[in-house]
Amino acid sequence: MKKLAVLSLILVMCFIALPTPTARAQVDCETVFRIVVVTHGQAADPFWSVVKNGVDAADADLDCVETEYQAPATFDMVQMSQLIDSAVSSAPDGLIVSIPDPTALEESIRAAVDAGIPVISINSGSDVAADFGVVAHVGQTEYEAGFGGGQRMAEAGVTKALCVNQEVGNVALDLRCQGFTDALAEAGGTVTVLEVDLANPTDTTNRIRTALTDDPEINGVFTLGPTGAAPTLEALREEGLLGTIGLATFDLSPEVLQAIVDGEMLFAIDQQQYTQGYLSIIYMYLFLDNLNTPGSIVVQTGPGFVTAETAAEVIDLSAEGTR
């Protein structure tokens, strides 16, 4: 009986000592790397909230990293350059930036590189990343993504389209429209760029409705994000044009995905922004800790295309904040 009691006690002690499957090892960090993320998109925006979720997930997965996410209150390149300058002055270990306007942000980004702060760009700026001296760019090439969208719209029968641009001057968005325009032109179609202000959704809806009414030959609308797709859907519903005019967009939202499921939209171009946030932190950590770099300056996260065949499955993932 004594031997049995001793054996039972040993087994209990061994069981207590074993780590649980979900337990994380406590790491004694010699250095905690501070990484500042400055983008042109607010964390409350449906698209950029997913980017920030990726940043936060990488922060949680890496014991020796602390991240800070910053963005101007609106699309404001002066304020964004000031945020980058302020971040550089605080001497972070690494800096992650989006580059929607290379001309406006070049001086601030080069100042970071000249100060010896490693920089990784995300989302926009793939065409200037190497020239600016960044370690890598994580995102999609915007012109090619727009071109792919134009090819798909042409295959769906679109011959005359609107490209709804909510930030004319944002180089990434301008490249999306240009790629879309070139692809449709290659198929014999034409595109008109319609500038809108998404801060005024009612005005945006009215401008889209007016454009469609003024030119009944328009049979396609291409938006550059979910916040542009929403007022476009409203305009098409009000005019009874859903199913008559082909609609597609960049990026995902629950409303966009449901519209694809319901047959109200053709597709959405998915640049996988969660991956942009997550991988940029991972790559920066590996560079700071081990001088690792990707195999190419541009790490592609898209474009992918969400269609009626895949939209329902992606809805659940979008609800979780990862798509």
207 in a structural domain? yes
Kindly calculate the radius of gyration of the chain based on its CA atoms and give it in whole angstroms: 24
Same domain, 209 and 68: no
Same domain, 88 and 122: yes
257 in a structural domain? yes
* Token pair of 199 as six digits: 């801060």
Same domain, 157 and 259: yes
Q: Reduce the DSSP state of residue 321 to 3 states and report it.
A: coil
Tens-place pLDDT, residues 268-295: 999 999 999 999 999 999 999 999 999 9
**Is residue 26 scored above 80 in pLDDT?**
no
**What Å distances lie between residue 149 and 133, 153, 154, 305, CA to CA?**
30, 6, 9, 9
> Which H helix or E strand runs over 246?
strand 246-250
Same domain, 101 and 209: no
Distance CA 265, CA 258 (A): 9
Q: Can you tell me the mean pLDDT for 61-83? A: 95
Q: Around Cβ 192, how many Cβ atoms within 10 Å? A: 14
**Is residue 62 scored above 90 in pLDDT?**
yes
pTM equals 0.76
Same domain, 127 and 276: yes
Same domain, 232 and 114: no
Same domain, 147 and 264: yes
Tens-place pLDDT, residues 173-197: 999 999 999 999 999 999 999 999 8
Same domain, 129 and 196: no
Look up the CATH number of the domain holding residue 262.
3.40.50.2300
Query: Domain range for residue 107?
Result: 33-140+272-292
Distance CA 256, CA 310 (A): 13
* Token pair of 269 as six digits: 């171009």
220 CB-side CA count, 13 A: 27
17 in a structural domain? no
Tens-place pLDDT, residues 92-146: 999 999 999 999 999 999 999 999 999 999 999 998 999 999 999 999 998 999 9
Q: Which of 279, 237, 316 is nearest to 57 (CA)?
A: 279
Q: What residue spans of the chain are helical by DSSP H? A: 2-17, 46-61, 77-89, 102-114, 129-132, 142-155, 171-186, 201-214, 226-238, 254-261, 273-290, 311-319
Query: Domain count of the chain?
Result: 2
Same domain, 217 and 285: no
Q: Cβ neighbours of residue 126 under 8 Å, at least 6 residues apart?
A: 137, 139, 140, 141, 142, 298
**Is residue 16 scored above 60 in pLDDT?**
no
Same domain, 227 and 284: no
305 in a structural domain? no
Where does residue 37 rank: exposed (0-12), middle (13-18), buried (19+ CB within 10 A)?
A: buried
Same domain, 158 and 266: yes
